[in-house]
Amino acid sequence: MNNNLFRAISFRIGIIFSLSTIFILIIMGLFINKLVMHHFETQDRTQLEGKIQLIQNLLQQHPKNSPELNLYLRDALVGHHDLMVQIERPTGKVLFSSASSIINTQNLIKSANNSWIKWQVQNKTYRGMIYTTGINRNSEIQSVRIIVGIDTSEHLHFLKDFKRQLLYIGLAGTICLMFLGWFATWRGLRPVQKMAKVAEGISAQHLSERLEVEHTPTELKSLAIAFNAMLDRLESALEKLSDFSSDLAHEIRTPINNLMTQTQVCLARNRDINIYQEVLFSNLEEFERLARMVSDMLFLAKAEHGLNLQNLQNIDLVKEVTALFDFYDALAAEKNMTLQQTGSGNVKGDPAMLRRALSNLLSNAVKYGKKNSTIQIKLQQNLDNTIFSIENEGPELSPEQLSRLFDRFYRTDASRQRTEEGTGLGLAITKSILDMLGATIQAESLNGRIIFTIVFQSESMQG
């Protein structure tokens, strides 16, 4: 429980928010305390300087140390019980002192930062100034020293209460801000909890759930969009995987059933050696078909995990197309098809892999194209890419059929499942090879023509 609390984002943000608040309040408290101290110092200095000026005027008016001068000095201090004044005229001889005892200048503590002096009398702390001047007396300059101080006990008491109250207010404010920070974070992370709830309900059987994007906070909107896109891909992949498993089972079951049926019929009674040979030849064809299917599936599995294309060369597409035409010319002639090629182009890739990919496309065009039609291959060399396209006449394909054309074992006409030889993996292998070569392939169905377009980017051309 404690570990979960410490790992919670709301708890961490609350702690960080609280520590930041405490730091800011401490800085503010020190700054305010300094301002208050400066205010008291300025106030005390103004008051003391005023008294020094008054005393100096009285001393100028009464050059003699008379009882009348003491009376005037005491009258000047009426109402200022917190003031302490000591006058020495001449310096060292006390003329007047408002304190019960004479101030010993040796006990005065001078401040290092300013002109203040401090001393203590009867548990009271005084802060004051020493003013030394000369007064003209009978054509002689007589030195005078005036020591004035003010009781700072009230200031210190006020500052002590102020600091205590500021501490209590700071603690209460920090606790409130910590709670508010935690609550705001918890409230802000509620969309994440909703995401987690939606994610909990997602399984292989329920992939239709999606996160709401419209009312999602801006910071989480990109995450929600990416999450929904991931679910779309998973749903599509799972659907293709389910279809693949079904198609694979059907593809394997058919030759196995043929093998079993032929073998059972052959073994039902004794037969001539020629019949056994025919059955074995028929079984061999099915075995070869299964072997090709397994080989193609292994190739696709390796391609999905990445194949190292070590034999990269500059390939002249015109030469490759000419070699393919020579190989498929006889098959095309059986259906009275014409093979044409225009343009030129060069790419960089693995010759064997590329030949296999292009061979699959041309093989499909011959097998599924209309009789007495033309299969046309166009090559176009551009500055940043090379385009290879192959066209043949065929039935119109729907957008759904085009989108699944490169799926494994997918055939556009299920009733034609076994009328043509092949494993149903040709186009899937072609796409895997082109992906490894950094090329893209796209299928279109326009006006009764099937068009496959391959774009080789400049990266694949240059290695």
Same domain membership, residue 388 and residue 277: no
pLDDT-derived band at 454 (thresholds 50, 70, 90) equals very high
Query: With contact defined as beta carbons under 8 Å apart, do 18 and 177 qualify?
Result: yes
Query: With contact defined as beta carbons under 8 Å apart, do 148 and 142 qualify?
Result: no
Stretch among 138-142, 282-286, 302-306 having the lowest mean pLDDT: 302-306
Which residues have C-beta within 8 Å of that of residue 96, sequence separation ≥ 6?
A: 69, 70, 73, 85, 86, 87
Give the percent of the chain with pLDDT over 70: 87
Q: Give the model's pLDDT for residue 453.
A: 92
* Averaged pLDDT, 146-172: 85
Q: Give the model's pLDDT for residue 244.
A: 66
* Averaged pLDDT, 302-326: 79
Please report whether residue 202 resides in a domain.
Answer: no
Same domain membership, residue 30 and residue 95: yes
Same domain membership, residue 11 and residue 159: yes
Please report whether residue 52 resides in a domain.
Answer: yes
Whether residue 446 has pLDDT greater than 70: yes
Please report whether residue 379 resides in a domain.
Answer: yes
Q: Give the model's pLDDT for residue 33.
A: 84
Q: Structural domain of residue 370, as residue ranges?
A: 308-457
Same domain membership, residue 400 and residue 316: yes
- Looking at 146, 163, 180, the residue that finishes a domain is 163
Stretch among 102-106, 108-112, 119-123, 355-359 having the lowest mean pLDDT: 108-112
* Averaged pLDDT, 232-257: 74
Q: Give the model's pLDDT for residue 388.
A: 92
b/e string for 215-252 if b means 16 or more Cβ within 10 A? ebeeebeebbeebbeebeeeeeeeeeeeebeebeeebe
Same domain membership, residue 91 and residue 127: yes
Please report whether residue 179 resides in a domain.
Answer: no
Same domain membership, residue 159 and residue 271: no
Please report whether residue 64 resides in a domain.
Answer: yes
pLDDT tens per residue, range 354-398: 888 898 889 888 888 888 889 999 999 888 889 999 999 888 888
Whether residue 406 has pLDDT greater than 60: yes
Q: What angle (nearest 5°) sits at the alpha carbon of residue 373, between those of residues 367 and 378?
A: 85
Say which CATH number the domain at 231 has.
1.10.287
pLDDT-derived band at 194 (thresholds 50, 70, 90) equals confident
Q: Give the model's pLDDT for residue 379.
A: 92
Q: Who wins on pLDDT, 11 or 31?
A: 31
- Looking at 274, 301, 328, the residue that finishes a domain is 301
- The whole-chain average pLDDT of the chain stands at 80
Local structure of 374: helix, strand or coil = strand
Q: Give the model's pLDDT for residue 248.
A: 67
* Averaged pLDDT, 421-438: 77
Please report whether residue 169 resides in a domain.
Answer: no
Local structure of 309: helix, strand or coil = coil
- CA-to-CA distance for 282 and 291, rounded, in angstroms? 14
Whether residue 168 has pLDDT greater than 80: yes
Nearest CA to 429 out of 418, 419, 441, 417 is that of 441
Question: One-letter amino acid identity for 180?
Answer: L
Same domain membership, residue 278 and residue 246: yes
- CA-to-CA distance for 150 and 127, rounded, in angstroms? 5
Same domain membership, residue 329 and residue 280: no
Stretch among 177-181, 215-219, 266-270 having the lowest mean pLDDT: 215-219
- CA-to-CA distance for 174 and 15, rounded, in angstroms? 10
Say which CATH number the domain at 85 has.
3.30.450.20
Whether residue 133 has pLDDT greater than 70: yes
Q: Who wins on pLDDT, 245 or 169?
A: 169
Whether residue 14 has pLDDT greater than 80: no
Same domain membership, residue 158 and residue 17: yes
- CA-to-CA distance for 379 and 386, rounded, in angstroms? 7
Same domain membership, residue 37 and residue 90: yes
When mean pLDDT is compared over 34-48, 237-251, 283-297, the highest value belongs to 34-48
Any idea which residue has 């005491």 for tokens?
74
Say which CATH number the domain at 359 has.
3.30.565.10
Please report whether residue 51 resides in a domain.
Answer: yes
pLDDT-derived band at 106 (thresholds 50, 70, 90) equals low
Please report whether residue 192 resides in a domain.
Answer: no
- CA-to-CA distance for 60 and 135, rounded, in angstroms? 7
Same domain membership, residue 322 and residue 292: no
pLDDT tens per residue, range 336-356: 999 999 998 888 888 888 888
Query: With contact defined as beta carbons under 8 Å apart, do 91 and 145 qualify?
Result: yes
Q: What share of the chain is helix, strand, coil (3-state, %, to 5)?
A: 55, 20, 25
pLDDT-derived band at 160 (thresholds 50, 70, 90) equals confident
* Averaged pLDDT, 243-254: 70
Number of independent structural domains in the chain: 3
Sheet holding 374-381, edge to edge: 338-342, 374-381, 385-393, 449-457, 439-446
Q: What is the DSSP string of 170-183?
A: HHHHHHHHHHHHHH
- Looking at 301, 320, 341, the residue that finishes a domain is 301
Q: Give the model's pLDDT for residue 47.
A: 85
Same domain membership, residue 13 and residue 103: yes
Local structure of 55: helix, strand or coil = helix
Q: Give the model's pLDDT for residue 417.
A: 47
pLDDT-derived band at 64 (thresholds 50, 70, 90) equals confident
Whether residue 303 has pLDDT greater than 70: no
